[in-house]
Structure formats: C-alpha cells, structure tokens
C-alpha cells in the first residue's frame, strides 16, 4: 500500500489578496485545520515548499511575463488584472507554490508516495503564458506537467480539471500537444468564457482536449454521466503515466461563485474513479492541485473526502 503526500506551508498564507477577496489565506487554514483532526494526518508524507527555479516556470510562461509579475509586485501594484490582487509577498509565494508542486512531483515519481494533495495558493489554471487571470499568477499544474516530462521523462500525462471555471491557461498550454490530455468540466457560459465543446485542440493536439460545458443548475447526475460515459473510457484509452487534478471545489452547491450544484460526495466519487484508472495504467499515481473553492467549511470537507480516497483506497 502506497503512502499519500501532502503539501502545505504557512508561507502560502502570505499571499495577501486584500480584505474581502474570496481567494484568501483562510482557505488553507480551514483545510489544514480539518485534516489535522483526521487519524491519517500523522502518516502523510510531508512535502516541503521551495522556491521554483525560473527555468521550470519558463516551460509554460514567458520570461517577460515572469519579470513583469516580479517588478509589478515590487513596485507595490495591488492587482495584476481586475480579479488577481497581490501583496508585497505574492511573487515569492507564487514561486514557493510552484516549487512545492515540483517537489510533490518528485515525491510521487520517486515512489516516496503514490499520490498527493497540494494545498497551495495562489491557484494556477487561469494563468496564461504571458498574463495573470482569475486569481492565478503561475500555472502550477501546467508547469508540473511539463516538469514531469522534462525532469522525469514521462511521456503521457492526463489533466482532469473539475474546477467550476474552465482552465483556459492549462488548455492553451497544451492544445497543440498530444502528450498531455486536458479534460475539463465547468459551468458554461461562465468565467473565463472558454471551454466550449468544439475546443478539441489544434494541430497534433486535436482530440487531446475534451471539454464538458455544464449548464446552470447541473449537479451530480450530469457530472457522473460525463465521468462514466466519456472521461473514464477516454483515460483508459489514453493510458496516462500519471493523472493530475485541477481540484477546485467551487462547483459545490454551497459555493457563491457558481450555480453548479455538486454534492460533497461527488468529489469523493470523482477521485475514486480517477484512482481506479491510475491503478490500472499509472502505477496509482495521482496528484491533486488546489484551485478554487470559497465556502471554507465546504472546501475543507471536500478536501478531506479526496484525501480519504487517496489514503484508504491506495
């Protein structure tokens, strides 16, 4: 039975988004506080935060953009776009978020753990090659995917994004690439406006982007039908060497930033299905990266449910 890894560090609380911003430090405090009460907490493999080498961030982002983020934060700018607010430490914290995720990749690929959860902020899946968007500075999961290929030689990677918002940055990072299969379920039309069914990739990547735009009010039945009817069969055909999850929990019925109606148990079911695929084709390897989720009690409970599957079903 493999172990489960966990990335959390108080440095991630130092990304100051300002009063009233939904992507707040309290999100991680709530997650860690709930997990500490779980019997499995002491057995988790702890992954350390670390500053990422810029060469890995440049696998996804332009150096010009990286420098712009650094310079804008140092100049005291309080917003990189209308939604993406920053504080004095935000650039450094974003580097530590990426670096922690890369350490998680190392831990899983080297066999120190079979799966893991990255409780990080700022989140990442909206960040594009050369601009910030939707609370995101650097695209943690996209950088991790490229790192797994560049550093560890993995050939086929699947990314499943169940955040309520489409991961435009992640999709655009890999849309012409047939080695990374990007799958997203998201409310549509909704921010950021991308993710229609006809977005299937470009060039060699055609067929390796799969979007499930969900109508207002969709819930467990619609999402489970997508998983069971299409996503799981597609993953089994693709046979990824690792599955990465953009784990946003803002499609929950209690979350104020969407009108999707998922239950807490739905996230547990999604995780179990993905783990079963990973056991067949990926040596059990699954890594979840925190994205959205803004109802603190719900967020922490959903993360606990995901971790229970990681810990008890490995």
DSSP state, 43?
G
Residues 224, 262: contact at Cβ < 8 Å? no
CB count in 10 Å sphere of residue 112? 15
H/E segment holding residue 245 = strand 242-247
Strand ranges of the sheet holding 242-247, from the earlier edge strand across to the other edge: 45-47, 4-7, 115-118, 286-290, 242-247, 157-161, 180-187, 209-214
Q: Which one of 15, 126, 172, 190 is the catalytic residue?
A: 126
| Dihedrals phi, psi of 254, to nearest 5 degrees | -90, -5
> Which tokens in the block code for residue 154?
């993995």
Residues 251, 260: contact at Cβ < 8 Å? yes
SS3 call for 69: helix
Sign of CA dihedral 200, 213, 275, 277: negative
Residues 219, 260: contact at Cβ < 8 Å? yes
Cα distance between residue 57 and residue 233, in whole Å: 32
Instruction: Identify the CA nearest to 130 among candidates 79, 181, 68, 85.
Output: 68
Residues 251, 258: contact at Cβ < 8 Å? yes
For residue 126, indicate whether it is catalytic.
yes
Positions marked catalytic: 126
């Amino acid at each position: 039975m493999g172990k489960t890894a966990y990335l959390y560090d108080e440095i991630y609380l130092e990304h100051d988004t300002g009063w009233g911003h939904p992507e707040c430090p309290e999100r991680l405090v709530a997650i860690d506080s709930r997990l500490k009460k779980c019997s499995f907490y002491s057995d988790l493999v702890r992954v350390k935060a670390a500053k990422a080498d810029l060469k890995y961030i440049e696998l996804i982002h332009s150096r010009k953009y990286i420098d712009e983020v650094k310079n804008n934060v140092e100049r005291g700018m309080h917003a990189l776009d209308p939604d993406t607010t920053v504080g004095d430490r935000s650039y450094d914290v974003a580097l530590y978020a990426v670096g922690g995720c890369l350490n998680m990749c190392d831990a899983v690929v080297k066999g120190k753990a079979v799966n893991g959860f990255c409780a990080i902020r700022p989140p990442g899946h909206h960040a594009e090659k050369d601009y910030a968007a939707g609370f995101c500075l650097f695209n943690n999961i996209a950088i991790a995917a490229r790192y797994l290929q560049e550093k560890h030689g993995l050939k086929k990677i699947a990314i499943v994004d169940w955040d309520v918002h489409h991961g435009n940055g992640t999709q655009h990072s890999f849309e012409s690439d047939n080695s990374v299969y990007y799958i997203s379920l998201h409310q549509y039309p909704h921010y950021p406006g991308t993710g229609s069914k006809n977005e299937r990739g470009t060039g060699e990547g055609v067929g390796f982007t799969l979007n499930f735009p969900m109508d207002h009010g969709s819930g467990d039945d619609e999402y489970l039908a997508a998983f069971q009817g299409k996503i799981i069969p597609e993953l089994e055909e693709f046979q990824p060497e690792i599955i990465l999850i953009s784990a946003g929990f803002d499609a929950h019925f209690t979350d104020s930033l969407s009108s999707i109606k998922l239950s807490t148990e739905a996230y547990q079911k999604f995780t179990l299905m993905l783990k079963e695929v990973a056991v067949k084709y990926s040596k059990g390897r699954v890594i979840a990266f925190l994205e959205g989720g803004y109802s603190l009690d719900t967020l922490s409970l959903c993360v606990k449910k995901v971790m229970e599957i990681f810990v008890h079903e490995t």
